[in-house]
């Protein structure tokens, strides 16, 4: 019999069990008991032997979050208690405050000492032994490695799936590869792949599962060869019987045919004496029709007549008084009798064979035994352990049957280390965990030298799928018989909610099996004990009226029907609940719904006050869809899906493939067409029709490729999303926030993964592997913590509370039927997985269905007790399958109402609900809310203050980092985007060239290559990258251009790889030869230069520079350059623009040759269709048209400034050689496509002063 718990008189020695119903202050109680243990509080019956320190009190709970919360709550309680004792105020004798009462139990002269002890404990909480069971076991295995016979440095691995896969594959290789064809075929019939076998093994390898059982009997892992031989023998017997039957049928047909005329005449003679039903002998016509069927069958035509079996010797059915009582012994009749016997024996065969486990079941038992043993050995060899191993290894070390003397020694050590243990959420304990604590503290013995306090609520034991076992709780309850205590006051819910819950479960307690289905006669280990309500002052008002504490929403079946189908119930319940919530939140905006006192609303109802509890993801999807249709945002707090199973993960793979190979249009098109990118079809179509627009997309992916290479995959993905305005577009759509959260999650994962793999393709393969086998290590992240309606599973809601709780789908249930392949089955040896099937072992399936309903009752209790102010339950005369009448008794709600009795129809349910609601004022019955389409526009985030107006802001000077491309020219296209890399700068110079589809010429060589090579930014960037590769290549003793010229094979390989990315393979060989010639050919300058003769020490590739400029006018700059270069020839003038900040650029190549420094720039522009387009005069015109003159002047200015600080005796005239612009397509022209110019010294020095701000104006 349980007794109410008195906090200050509760015994802190021996073994005690505290049952804490929902909302009764379990954590508060635990913290105060902890405080008493620190003080050593109590009398000779209740106090522990001595005061304890935080490191001596073991507190165990079942999640890391709960452990942290407990630590904080206990620390706060210790600090608060210390303050009480530090105060000199005498406690009030009538105070109900437990801390006041605690203080009053000590004389004043001890208050200071108590305060000191409490404060010291609070400051030592970082050393407190408060953790999860797994963390504590891990710590004990390390601290007591000798006594647990473990390793000191075993690594804890959170995911052992990879190792399990490896072990299963090894099992497959070891046992199946040596088999012959006949044996292997048997295996294939059961498991076609190792993955299929691993899927069935996964449930067997959980903690607490001993193995496989068949018809209730545990199966030992029989020898595989023995299994195979047995099955093959049976198979051979079956084949022999089939052959025997087939031969007998052949003989039978032949016997009928051989004597057919005589048999037919004989059968007509005896027809008058035969019973009609067995032989169709009522009329000659019907009889002849049957004989014709027999004759056709004997000839091999048509199916076997159904009544042929009645024409066997001994099977003819004659009238009792007829002169003929037995047929003549024709050979056909004798063989038919034999054939009938054979068929009858075959029908009985399955019943005899069902006593033996099928081969697949026996194979599974064999595989489980080998895989489990090998898996544990591998973990030990790797010095690793999984979470389950933490428990099993410590339990084995403490088990006297397994470790004899060392077990007793270890238990004594742990008992001395932790004299008292407080086990929170004990109803979620599994058998292994219970045995650990029972080995240490011997619960049944009630050892007064130690203390163990078990705190939990068996009515909330809902985690059987995790291995938690309510029977373990009941075992502990039996071991602590006579030492049970109960918390009696509910501090969570209002008086009305507590009254409604008490009434409903009090009503269910009257059923023969009790509310939670554990009563058996006088034995009732799990009764419902009613609690008192501490009460809450705040009242909920809906539509201006006080809300009913508990409301049944009644759903009616369709017209003319008695029950509602599950699919329709799901739709109607979701739409109805969403409509009602929309109405309430609309009322809240109008001040008619919220919380307050005495009719006055002081706080409006918010979406975050509402929690919708569901059982599974399908229900969550349904209600969230309906909420979104009404403009109500929600968040699903229980999503256990892997981010790799999302559409965003699959689409991201397309993005990566396209960015990794940006020259392949097919991949870029696939990336742009993904649902996640969500580009309008009109835009995609326009890109296909407009060459320049499509070229810009290809260039974007080129730029993204460079970002990935130089800044990482995370930067690239963010750049891609910004480039296509993905966040702004998706956030306007339903599910957009979820989609963006998935993308950012995946981007972070890819960035981390990129540090572990080598290169872009390896990262893509790694992502592909994750997509193929998603695991639960990368679960979906919560997309928002804004004030949204919460959708959460009942399982995850345990321990939480919500102002309003809606249970629209609470009438549903999950059936355990013949489709369920495996079920837990308890035997004297432990828990097994029963695999024989419902037909062969219905007892297991019935027991599982009973346990399912019992756990559903506990789930219902958890759901109802989450509400603070009010809750709503959707009730329907629900049915499943083809049933016409309600089957609500299969659900927890149905059992609560009737105790398992079936409702005859919807009216019976209505009558029951009306009777219940009439007996309890806190319960009301209403029709399901009407479905409406009202759409709200709620403000779900905090209102921010308006930004200051521009007039209120301090005036800022414009400052930027710009480049040559930022200077705009009259009559020329210009772009806002600044190049981030040298390759982007190169691409910008050629994007205005028309895009070409690469031709497929038949005759290409180094001489005519550039006439055929396609133009456009992609191909220009390609040629630049080729020169960049040549400048840094290494081959044997050569480096740089010399290496590229000498390494013919390496050059061809590099060129081919780059050509493949742009689908230019046809040009690879000629391009490699052209490059070799280009590098070796002397340039026709005043001082001839050969690239292949330049050592790496005298060149600098892709040199980046930044030049500061102070309020420089671009038109003044342009006028100065125009006047002093190229004889003042006309060129497009620059627009007026003020430049202030840093001027940025990239120089393709800087060369030191014959004591002079040259700026070299590669130009891939196609100036014309023939070589004359590269005449020196034409080159000068191209320079002017593109304004490369200003570009190379700025490059030379940068080099001039650089050399001024690097060379002690620097002189412009002596050290600078000028700029060389190499138009690579003109290589075959006598000019070699070379343009060389050296601006006057005065220009460079004037520009130097202008950029420094020392010279404000130029002379006109």
Highest mean pLDDT of the ranges 343-352, 462-471, 1127-1136: 1127-1136
Distance CA 376, CA 83 (A): 52
Distance CA 19, CA 34 (A): 17
Place of tokens 């995959």: 713
Distance CA 1166, CA 1182 (A): 10
**CB-CB neighbours of 1003 under 10 Å:** 7
Distance CA 317, CA 308 (A): 13
Q: 1159 near 1220, Cβ under 8 Å?
A: yes
Q: Is the pLDDT of residue 546 over 50?
A: yes
C-alpha dihedral, 837 to 842 to 845 to 846, nearest 10°: 170
Half-sphere exposure at residue 44, Cβ-oriented, CA atoms within 13 angstroms = 0
Q: Is the pLDDT of residue 76 over 90?
A: yes
Give the orientation angle of helix 431-441 with respect to helix 133-143, to 10 degrees.
50
- Band the pLDDT of 769: cuts 50, 70, 90: confident
3-state secondary structure 480-492: CCCCEEEECEECC
Q: What are phi and psi of 334, to 5 degrees?
A: -65, -45
Model confidence over 487-499: pLDDT tens digits?
999 999 999 999 9
H-type helices in 969-1067, by residue range?
982-990, 1009-1012, 1017-1032, 1041-1046, 1048-1061
- Band the pLDDT of 610: cuts 50, 70, 90: very high
Active-site annotation holds for 1161: yes
The total number of residues written for the chain in this structure? 1260
Q: Is the pLDDT of residue 414 over 70?
A: yes
Distance CA 823, CA 843 (A): 11
Q: What is the mean pLDDT of the chain?
A: 86
Q: DSSP class of residue 1159? A: E
Distance CA 1189, CA 1106 (A): 19
How much is the average pLDDT of 284-301?
86
Give the orientation angle of helix 64-86 with respect to helix 111-123, to 10 degrees.
150
* The two structure tokens encoding residue 88: 């000199």
Give the orientation angle of helix 691-711 with respect to helix 713-723, to 10 degrees.
150
Catalytic hit among 424, 457, 609, 1161? 1161
* The two structure tokens encoding residue 1142: 């840093």
Binding site listing for ATP: 20-27
Distance CA 1156, CA 474 (A): 93
Query: Among residues 885, 306, 311, 874, which one has the least CA distance to residue 622?
Result: 874
Binding site listing for Mg(2+): 1024, 1148, 1161
β-strand partners of 60: 131, 423
Count of H-run helices and E-run strands, the chain: 45, 36
Identify the CATH class of 959-992+1089-1260. Answer: alpha beta
Question: DSSP assignment of 1068-1089, as one string?
Answer: HHHHHHHHHHHHHSPB-SSS-B
Q: DSSP class of residue 320? A: T
pLDDT value for 183: 83
How much is the average pLDDT of 90-105?
84
CATH number for the domain whose boundaries are 539-632+792-808+842-927 = 3.40.50.300
**1218: helix, strand or coil:** strand
Query: Among residues 403, 520, 405, 333, which one has the least CA distance to residue 150?
Result: 403
Higher pLDDT, 968 or 809: 809
Q: In what order do the strands lie in the sheet with 545-546?
A: 545-546, 539-542, 594-597, 600-604
**803: helix, strand or coil:** strand
Name the burial class of residue 265, with classes exposed (0-12), middle (13-18) and buried (19+) by CB atoms within 10 angstroms of its CB: exposed
Half-sphere exposure at residue 1158, Cβ-oriented, CA atoms within 13 angstroms = 25
H-type helices in 510-644, by residue range?
566-589, 617-629
Distance CA 563, CA 884 (A): 6
% of residues, the chain, pLDDT over 90: 49
pLDDT value for 426: 93
Q: 825 near 831, Cβ under 8 Å?
A: yes
Q: Which CATH number fits domain 643-772: 1.10.486.10, 2.60.120.10, 3.40.1360.10, 3.40.50.300?
A: 1.10.486.10
Place of tokens 């691995």: 157
Q: 563 near 914, Cβ under 8 Å?
A: no
Higher pLDDT, 996 or 1099: 1099
* The two structure tokens encoding residue 444: 């049944």
Instruction: Classify the C-alpha dihedral 102-108-113-115 as positive or negative.
Output: positive
pLDDT value for 758: 83
Place of tokens 């130009």: 1163
Alpha-carbon distance values, 692 to 432, 671, 689, 697, 1182 (Å): 69, 19, 9, 9, 21
Model confidence over 1164-1217: pLDDT tens digits?
888 888 889 999 999 999 999 999 999 999 999 999 999 999 998 999 999 999
pLDDT value for 825: 79
Q: Is the pLDDT of residue 353 over 50?
A: no
Model confidence over 193-244: pLDDT tens digits?
999 998 888 877 776 677 777 777 776 766 777 777 777 777 777 777 778 8
Q: Which CATH number fits domain 3-68+127-154+386-487: 3.40.50.300, 3.40.920.10, 3.40.50.2000, 3.50.50.60?
A: 3.40.50.300
% of residues, the chain, pLDDT over 70: 91
Q: 968 near 664, Cβ under 8 Å?
A: no
- Band the pLDDT of 974: cuts 50, 70, 90: very low
Judged by average pLDDT, the poorest of 25-39, 111-125, 326-340 is: 326-340
Distance CA 81, CA 121 (A): 11
* The two structure tokens encoding residue 183: 């044996």
Query: Among residues 987, 1021, 966, which one has the least CA distance to residue 1191?
Result: 966
- Band the pLDDT of 944: cuts 50, 70, 90: very low
pLDDT value for 950: 61
- Band the pLDDT of 1237: cuts 50, 70, 90: very high
**773: helix, strand or coil:** coil
Binding site listing: 20-27, 1024, 1148, 1161
* The two structure tokens encoding residue 1194: 């700025």
Query: Among residues 692, 794, 825, which one has the least CA distance to residue 208?
Result: 825
pLDDT value for 747: 92
b/e map 386-398, b = 16+ CB within 10 Å: bbbbbbbbbbbbb
* The two structure tokens encoding residue 234: 């049976």
Q: 783 near 445, Cβ under 8 Å?
A: no
Alpha-carbon distance values, 704 to 712, 720, 764 (Å): 10, 7, 15
Q: 982 near 1195, Cβ under 8 Å?
A: no
pLDDT value for 34: 97
Residue spans of beta strands (DSSP E) within 439-575 = 451-456, 484-487, 489-490, 532-533, 539-542, 545-546, 550-554, 564-565
pTM score, whole prediction: 0.69
**CB-CB neighbours of 737 under 10 Å:** 18
Question: DSSP assignment of 70-87, as one string?
Answer: HHHHHHHHHHHHHHHHHS
Distance CA 1120, CA 207 (A): 83
Query: Which helix (H) or strand (E) is 1228 found in, with range?
Result: none
Distance CA 1163, CA 910 (A): 86
Q: 1128 near 1189, Cβ under 8 Å?
A: no
């Amino acid at each position: 019999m349980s007794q109410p718990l008195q906090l200050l008189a509760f015994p802190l020695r021996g073994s005690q069990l505290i049952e804490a119903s929902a909302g009764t202050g379990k954590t508060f109680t635990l913290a105060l008991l902890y405080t008493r243990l620190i003080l050593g509080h109590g009398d000779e019956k209740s106090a522990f032997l001595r005061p304890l320190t935080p490191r001596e009190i073991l507190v165990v709970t079942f999640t890391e979050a709960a452990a942290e919360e407990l630590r904080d709550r206990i620390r706060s309680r210790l600090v608060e208690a210390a303050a009480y004792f530090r105060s000199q105020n005498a406690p009030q004798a009538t105070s109900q405050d437990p801390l006041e009462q605690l203080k009053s139990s000590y004389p004043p002269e001890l208050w200071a000492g108590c305060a000191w002890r409490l404060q010291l404990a609070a400051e030592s909480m970082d050393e407190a032994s408060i953790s999860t069971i797994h963390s504590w076991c891990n710590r004990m295995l390390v601290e007591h490695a000798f006594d647990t016979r473990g390793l000191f440095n075993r690594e804890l691995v959170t995911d052992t799936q990879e190792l399990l896969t490896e072990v299963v594959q090894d099992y497959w290789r070891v046992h199946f590869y040596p088999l012959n064809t006949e044996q292997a075929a048997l295996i294939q019939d059961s498991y076609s792949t190792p993955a299929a076998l691993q899927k069935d093994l996964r449930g067997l390898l959980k903690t607490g599962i001993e193995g496989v059982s068949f018809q209730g009997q545990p199966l030992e892992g029989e020898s595989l060869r023995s299994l195979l031989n047995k099955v093959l023998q049976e198979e051979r017997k079956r084949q022999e019987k089939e052959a025997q039957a087939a031969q007998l049928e052949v003989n039978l047909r032949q016997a009928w045919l051989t004597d057919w005329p005589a048999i037919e005449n004989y059968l007509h003679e005896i027809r008058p004496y035969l019973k009609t039903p067995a032989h169709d002998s009522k009329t000659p016509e019907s009889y002849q029709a049957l004989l014709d069927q027999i004759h056709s069958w004997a000839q091999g035509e048509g199916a076997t007549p159904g009544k042929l079996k009645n024409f066997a010797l001994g099977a003819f059915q004659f009238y009792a008084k007829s002169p003929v009582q037995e047929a003549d012994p024709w050979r056909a009749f004798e063989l038919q009798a034999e054939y009938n016997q054979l068929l009858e024996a075959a029908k009985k065969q399955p019943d005899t064979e069902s006593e033996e486990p099928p081969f697949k079941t026996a194979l599974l038992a064999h595989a489980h035994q080998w895989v489990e043993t090998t898996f544990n050995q591998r973990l030990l060899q790797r010095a690793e352990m999984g979470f389950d191993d933490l428990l099993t290894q410590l339990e084995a070390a403490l088990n006297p049957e397994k470790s004899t003397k060392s077990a007793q020694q270890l238990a004594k050590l742990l008992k001395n280390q932790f004299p008292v243990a407080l086990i929170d959420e004990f109803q979620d304990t599994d058998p292994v965990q219970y045995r650990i604590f029972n080995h240490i503290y011997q619960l049944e013995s009630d050892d007064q030298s130690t203390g163990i306090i078990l705190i939990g609520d068996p009515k909330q034991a809902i985690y059987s799928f995790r291995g938690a076992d309510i029977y373990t709780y009941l075992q502990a309850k039996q071991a602590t018989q006579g030492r049970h205590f109960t918390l009696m006051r509910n501090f969570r819910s209002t008086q009305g909610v507590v009254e409604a819950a008490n009434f409903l479960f009090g009503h269910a307690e009257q059923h023969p099996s009790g509310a939670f289905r554990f009563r058996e006669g006088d034995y009732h280990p799990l009764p419902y004990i009613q609690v008192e309500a501490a009460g809450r002052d705040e009242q909920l008002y809906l539509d201006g009226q006080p809300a009913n504490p508990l409301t049944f929403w009644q759903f009616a079946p369709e017209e003319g029907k008695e029950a509602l189908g599950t699919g329709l119930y799901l739709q109607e319940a979701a739409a109805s609940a969403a409509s009602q919530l929309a109405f309430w939140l609309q009322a809240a905006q109008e001040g008619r719904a919220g919380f307050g006192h005495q009719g006055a609303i002081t706080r409006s109802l918010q979406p975050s006050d509402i929690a919708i509890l569901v059982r599974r993801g399908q229900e969550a999807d349904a209600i969230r869809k309906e909420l979104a249709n009404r403009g109500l945002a929600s968040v699903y707090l229980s999503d256990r899906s892997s981010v790799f199973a999302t559409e965003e993960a699959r689409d991201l793979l397309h993005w990566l493939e396209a960015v990794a190979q940006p020259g392949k249009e097919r991949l870029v098109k696939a990336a742009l067409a993904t649902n996640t990118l969500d580009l309008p079809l009109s835009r995609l179509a326009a890109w296909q029709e407009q060459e320049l627009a499509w070229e810009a997309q290809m260039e974007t992916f080129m730029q993204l490729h460079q970002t990935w290479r130089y800044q990482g995959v995370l930067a690239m993905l963010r750049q891609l999303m910004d480039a296509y305005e993905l966040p702004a577009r998706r956030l306007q759509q339903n599910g957009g926030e979820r989609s963006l959260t998935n993308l950012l999650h995946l981007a972070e994962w890819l960035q981390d993964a990129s540090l572990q793999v080598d290169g872009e393709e390896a990262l893509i393969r790694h992502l592909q592997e994750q997509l193929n086998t998603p695991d639960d290590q990368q679960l979906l992240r919560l997309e928002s913590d804004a004030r949204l309606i919460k959708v959460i599973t009942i399982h995850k809601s345990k321990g939480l509370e919500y102002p309003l709780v809606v249970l629209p789908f609470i009438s549903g249930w999950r059936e355990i039927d013949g489709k369920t392949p495996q079920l837990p089955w308890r035997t004297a040896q432990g828990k097994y997985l029963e695999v024989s099937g419902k037909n062969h072992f219905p007892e297991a399936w019935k027991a599982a269905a009973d346990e399912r309903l019992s756990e559903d009752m506990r789930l219902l209790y958890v759901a109802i007790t989450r509400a603070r102010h009010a809750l709503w339950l959707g009730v329907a005369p629900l049915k499943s399958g083809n049933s016409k009448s309600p089957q609500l008794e299969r659900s927890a709600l149905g059992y609560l109402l009737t105790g398992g009795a079936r409702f005859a129809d919807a009216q019976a349910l209505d009558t029951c609900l009306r009777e219940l609601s009439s007996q309890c004022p806190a319960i009301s019955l209403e029709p399901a809310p009407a479905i409406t389409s009202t759409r709200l526009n709620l403000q779900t985030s905090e209102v921010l203050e308006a930004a200051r107006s521009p007039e209120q802001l301090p005036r800022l000077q414009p400052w930027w980092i710009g480049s040559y491309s930022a200077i705009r020219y009259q009559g020329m296209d210009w772009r806002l985007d600044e190049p981030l890399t040298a390759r982007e700068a190169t691409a910008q110079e050629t994007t205005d060239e028309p895009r070409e589809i690469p031709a497929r010429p038949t005759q290409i060589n180094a001489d005519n290559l550039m006439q055929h090579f396609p133009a456009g930014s992609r191909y220009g960037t390609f040629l630049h990258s080729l020169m960049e590769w040549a400048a840094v290549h290494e081959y044997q003793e050569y480096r740089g251009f010399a290496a590229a010229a000498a390494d013919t094979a390496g050059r061809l390989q590099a060129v081919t790889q780059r050509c493949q990315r742009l689908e230019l393979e046809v040009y690879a060989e000629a391009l490699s030869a052209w490059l070799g010639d280009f590098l070796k050919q002397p340039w026709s300058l005043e001082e001839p230069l050969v690239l292949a003769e330049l050592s790496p020490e005298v060149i600098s590739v892709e040199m980046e520079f930044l030049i500061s400029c102070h309020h420089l006018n671009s038109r003044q700059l342009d006028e100065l350059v125009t006047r002093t270069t190229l004889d003042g020839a006309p060129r497009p003038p620059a627009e007026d623009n003020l430049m202030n900040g840093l001027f940025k650029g990239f120089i393709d190549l800087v060369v030191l040759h014959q004591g002079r420094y040259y700026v070299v720039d590669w130009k891939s522009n196609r100036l014309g269709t023939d070589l004359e387009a590269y005449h020196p005069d034409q080159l000068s015109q191209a320079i002017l048209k593109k304004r490369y003159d200003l570009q190379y002047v700025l490059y030379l200015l940068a080099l001039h400034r650089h050399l001024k600080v690097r060379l002690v005796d620097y002189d412009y005239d002596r050290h600078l050689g000028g700029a060389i612009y190499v138009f690579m397509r003109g290589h075959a022209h006598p000019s070699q496509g070379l343009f060389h110019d050296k601006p006057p010294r005065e220009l460079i020095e004037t520009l130097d002063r202008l950029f420094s701000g020392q010279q404000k104006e130029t002379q006109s």
